[in-house]
Structure 1
């Protein structure tokens, strides 16, 4: 994420282009998204709560502007994969997921401003797959229920060329799942913060 700040600063200082966010405009953003789980769960047979590591993948968003202030956005990404561990057992599983999200957005400032901050709120549907037991759970069945929850975001677009802009955004997703394992069902909240740095194009 640190790499986006010099890009944004250079855009502000050097660019004379204005970024259009008018009714009927489409724009796509693509870049790197880092998922940082903020997990909590039931205790796993006295070994502590489930813990998930961070992962970075390619993220893409597609936005349609209903007006110069209101937009609708869809988030997609390549699959995120996390190691799942506990305090005492170490790594006990590996799981992948896709987090498609739908957001309604409000953009601040004028339609042709060089800098457009925005906020958004909507829904996230997380699809879990490729669950695999590791360590003490190796060779056993592990599965996670898919999750539907609320999502929120803040971000900013900064133009640096005609139709091109840099973007930085932060997402919060409410993800709750039941983890089915050989030792029983574990209720887990993952609730990640996602940081995304991207480049966008308006058409």
Structure 2
């Protein structure tokens, strides 16, 4: 949680300072149709699941991310985004650590980038569809689910994005963004339904991009 708050504050700081720091005219990116971004993000669930009737808490984690975008126009883009590595989550109940699970989301979104291609700072919004694969579900040997097999089905749903690009070169830019993933996953214990995991994580990220 502390890492999530730190990155969130850094992102908010970037959003606040960028308009002043880049008040001058930006580098024109008109006609450049492809962009790739490599970065790092923290995923923090906004809701906690109930497993087998027991309330549980799922901790957040960080991972590397990648995205590729095609700009249909200077303002409209289609983005493929995903975690390059897995977010590792610890699941706890009132008795302590109960299990661990890894999540790897990926998404396809349409985006609208505000302003003209000559601006240095360009905010954007996006809306699309995501899926998050779960793996490495492991019960803690001394926990209440010890010896049982845990399974989480792929979460699917809508993803909303808000962010900002800061262009400092015709081909290079910095990015900060926040993504909200809204979707459910069925939880199974030894193959039997044991509830739903409505994690609905917020993913806060920063990255460096190339446009060509």
TM-score scaled by structure 1? 0.88
Question: Unpaired segments of 5 or more residues in structure 1?
Answer: none
Task: State which drifts further: 150-159 or 184-193.
Answer: 184-193
> What's the CA shift for 1:187?
1.5
**Offset at 1:43?**
6.2
Structure-1 residue corresponding to 2:89: 82
1:191 is aligned to 200
RMSD: 2.3
Q: Does 1:153 align with 2:161?
A: yes
Counterparts of 1:1-203 in structure 2, within 5 Å, are: 1=7, 2-3=9-10, 5=13, 9=17, 13=21, 17-20=26-29, 22=31, 25-42=33-50, 44-45=52-53, 47=54, 49-77=55-83, 78-86=85-93, 88-134=94-140, 135-181=143-189, 185-203=194-212
Deviations 1:54-102 (A, max 9, x none): 101111111110111110001121111100112x222111101110111
**Partners of 2:106 and 2:130 within 8 A in 1:** yes
* Partner SS for 1:196: strand
Is contact 1:44–1:50 with CA below 8 Å preserved after alignment? no
| Partner Cα distance (2:149, 2:82) in 1 | 28
SS in 2 for 1:40: coil
The 1:97–1:73 alpha-carbon spacing in structure 2 relative to 1, beyond 3 Å, is same
- Show structure 2 runs of 5+ residues with no match: 1-6
Q: 2: CA distance between counterparts of 1:147 and 1:43?
A: 16
Q: Residue deviations 1:177-199, cap 9 Å, x none? A: 11112585122200000101111
